[in-house]
Amino acid sequence: MIALPPSFDANLAIDIVLLVMLLVVAGAIVRTRNLLAAIILFGIYSLVSAVWLVVMDAPDVAFTEAVVGAGISTIVLLGAILLTRGEAEKTDWRRLAAPALLCVAVGGLLVYAAMGLPALGDAASPANAHVGRAYLEATPRDIGIPNMVTAVLASYRGFDTLGETAVIFAAGIGVALMLGFGPRASLAPPPAVIGDHHVVLRVSAKFLIPLIALFAFYVQFHGDLGAGGGFQAGVIMAAAIILHALVFGLRETMAAVPPRVARGAASFGVLLYAGVGVACMVNGGGFLDYDFLFPPAIEKQIPGWLLGDPDHAHHWGQHFGIMLIELGVLLTVAATMVTIFYGFAGRTVDAARQEAKR
C-alpha cells in the first residue's frame, strides 16, 4: 500500500496526468512522418486540452477548443491532406537546428515568464482585481444574464467580438480566393453500385445529422445561461453539414446548401452584427449599446407584466441584442467553415478529374 502524501489533491493528480498526456501526444506529433497520423494526434491533443480546461473551470474555452480543435480543424486538415502527399519528407538535422534553437529559446522565455504569473485563483491578481472584478459585479445589474462569459464577450466587449467575426469572414474570403468556392464543373451523379457497402453509415448519419443541427441550436440559444454561444454553435452546425457531405457526397450537399447560399450567409452574419450596432446608434446610444436597441416608441408598447418588477431595470435590449449578434456569429462561422470545406473539396474533385483526363 502506497502511503499517500497528506496533501494529496485529486485535482492536482488529474492536472498532472492530463499534462503528461499532452506532452506525450506533442512528442508523437513531432516524431511521426505520417501526416494523417499527425492530424489525428492533433485532434487528440485538442481533446485532452479541452478536458484540462474543464478541470481548470473554463467550460466556455473548453467547448471552443473541443469543437474547433478536435472537430472542424481536423476535418479541414483532412481536406488539405487529400491535395498533398501523406508522408512528410525526411529533413536533414542541420536544417532543423536553427528552428529548434528558436523554439527552445521561445519556450524557455515563456517558462520564465510563467514564473511571474499570479497563482491560480489569486483574488489580488490584476485579472481578478480590476476590470474582471468590475465585470463580475456589474453584470447582474447591467446585462442580467447568468453566463458572465457571454456578457463580457457579447456585450461589454461586443466590438472585439465583431472584430473576431470579421476575421473569420476574412479568413473564409482568403481561402476562397486561393482555392475557389467549389468544384469548377458540375458534379456527375455517383455511379450505381450493386450492394451498398455503407448502408449502416448512411442510415445512422441520416439519423444523427438533424440531432447535431438541433444540438447546435441548443448551444446557440443556451449561450446566455451556460457555456456555449455563436462560435461553438456555428462550428457544430458546420460539422453537421460537412458530415452530410462526407457520407452522402459533395453533390448532394451542394444541392442542399449551395456555395452561393454559404457565401451569402457568411457576409449576412457580419452585416447583422454590425447592423445591430448601427441600430443602437440610430436610437441614440453608442455602437453596440444594446440598451438603446429598441426605440422608446417600441419600448412603451411592451406590456408591463412582461417586464417584471418595475423597480428593477429590465434588460430586454441586452437580451435581444446578444441574441441577434450571436445569430450573426453563428451564420458567419458556420457558413465560412462550409465555404472553406467546399474550397478544399472542390480542389480535390478538380484534381481527380484532371488526373482522369490524362
Partner 1 sequence: MGDVLSWAGGGLVIVGVALSVLGAVGVLRFPDFYTRIHAASITDTGGASLVLLGLCLIAGLSLVTLKLVFVWVFVMLTTPVAANALANAAFSSGHKPRIGAFQIVRTDERRKTPRGTDQP
Residue choice 201, 255, 282, 298 for contact with partner 1 (CB under 8 A): 201
Q: How many residues of this chain bind partner 1 (CB under 8 A)?
A: 12
Contact status: 208 vs partner 1 (CB under 8 A): yes
Minimum CB separation of residue 172 from partner 1 in Å reads 28
Question: 222 or 251, CB closer to partner 1?
Answer: 222
CB 259 within 8 A of CB 339: yes
Minimum CB separation of residue 249 from partner 1 in Å reads 15
Region from 16-24, 36-44, 59-67, 194-202 binding partner 1, contact rule CB under 8 A: 194-202
Contact status: 197 vs partner 1 (CB under 8 A): yes
Q: Which three cell numbers stand for residue 36?
A: 494523417
DSSP bridge partners of 87: 34
Q: Pick from 301, 195, 204: which is nearest to 246 by CA? A: 204
Minimum CB separation of residue 124 from partner 1 in Å reads 34
Burial (CB count within 10 angstroms: exposed 0-12, middle 13-18, buried 19+), residue 350: middle
Please tell me the distance from the alpha carbon of residue 328 to that of residue 277, in angstroms, as a whole number. Answer: 12
Contact status: 198 vs partner 1 (CB under 8 A): yes
Region from 37-45, 62-70, 201-209, 288-296 binding partner 1, contact rule CB under 8 A: 201-209
Contact status: 200 vs partner 1 (CB under 8 A): yes
**Displacement of CA 15 from its chain's centroid (Å):** 24
Question: 131 or 201, CB closer to partner 1?
Answer: 201
Enumerate residues 226-265 that contact partner 1 by CB under 8 A: none
Minimum CB separation of residue 236 from partner 1 in Å reads 13
CB 317 within 8 A of CB 290: yes
Contact status: 192 vs partner 1 (CB under 8 A): no
Those residues with Cβ within 8 angstroms of residue 68's Cβ, 6 or more apart along the chain or in another chain: 46, 231, 235
Minimum CB separation of residue 210 from partner 1 in Å reads 12
Please tell me the distance from the alpha carbon of residue 261 to that of residue 219, in angstroms, as a whole number. Answer: 23
Minimum CB separation of residue 209 from partner 1 in Å reads 12
How many secondary structure helices (H) and strands (E) does the chain include?
16, 0
| Host H or E run for residue 347 | helix 316-357
Tally the residues of the chain: 358
Contact status: 131 vs partner 1 (CB under 8 A): no
Return residues touching partner 1 (CB under 8 A): 193-195, 197-198, 200-201, 204-205, 207-208, 211
